[in-house]
Amino acid sequence: MAAVREIEPIVLDLNRLEQMAESGYYNPYTMFDWPDSIEPDKPWMSENLTTLAGTPMWDELTREQQIALTRWEAVNFFSLNIHGIRELMSEVVMRIHEKTYAHVSEFLHHFIGEENEHMWFFAQFCLRYGGKLYPAQPTLKVASADHLSPVAREMIVFARILIFEEIVDYYNSYMATDQTLPPIAREINRVHHQDESRHVAFGRMIFQNLLGQVMKRDPDEVPLIAEYLENYLQYSIGTLYNPAAYRDAGIPDALALRRRALEHPARIEAHDKILKRTRSFLSKVGAGREVIRR
């Protein structure tokens, strides 16, 4: 972590977020009412959030296949959460007692504790009702940004965490109130959304701090950062389209189906809707895709 010491100390006003974390504390190991099974006719993920929603491929499925797809895409979504949490926790743990992060260390302790609990209840759902987790998918490594300065690489670490959390929160906030879902699925999404609202607020603050340092030191790096982040947004969306979930739902030609779905205009429109909030934020702070040099 020698590169971290080249970065100016991160100083943020996190009093309100810390108070919210403390006042809203709950025990995840006792708060959920885990049913022995879930009604077989209920979707586990909102149907209009599935990766085939709005396409002819969805209409071509039998009702049994549609319900099965919601189940396995819920397992995939929660599995992605687990793997994403594990990655972001490892990054935060390495930094939590560095001098650069001394002023935000208290909140980072709350952050790590909450994310560990999220990982537990997502895994509980997957293992209890799906019987498995899907493996982690290959990721875009921060190493692909090795040509950037230490502060830019550090900013990308937190940008990846922020992007992950904002995409997840889009799904959580919708499914938390979807009455077609079983109560346990709604409750897991509701609880995660409640915590992620704080984490997203923190992520945006630390991102802006580090971006400000990049702009002060070498503004020419900003278009390169914006390009990396746009690629990461697209990669993150792509992880939702898991051929293994299609196969488990009894849908043939899973790889071909994934390609067709990703390219369908209805899905591209859905992606833009999912990413709208994040892209608007990046544009507002000067790191949106419009600054990429073509």
Rounded Cα gap, residues 35 and 101, in angstroms: 42
Quick one: what percent of the chain has pLDDT higher than 90?
Answer: 84
Mean pLDDT of 237-252: 97
Assess whether pLDDT exceeds 90 at residue 67.
yes
Mean pLDDT of 174-191: 97
Assess whether pLDDT exceeds 90 at residue 104.
yes
Closest CA to 218 of 134, 147, 268, 169: 147
Residues 6+ apart with CB under 8 A from 2: none
pLDDT of residue 87: 87
CATH number of 54-291: 1.10.620.20
Mean pLDDT of 17-31: 87
Assess whether pLDDT exceeds 80 at residue 98.
yes
The domains of the chain are located at 54-291
R_g of the chain computed on alpha carbons: 20
Per residue in 147-168, pLDDT tens? 889 999 999 999 999 999 999 9
Mean pLDDT score of the chain: 93
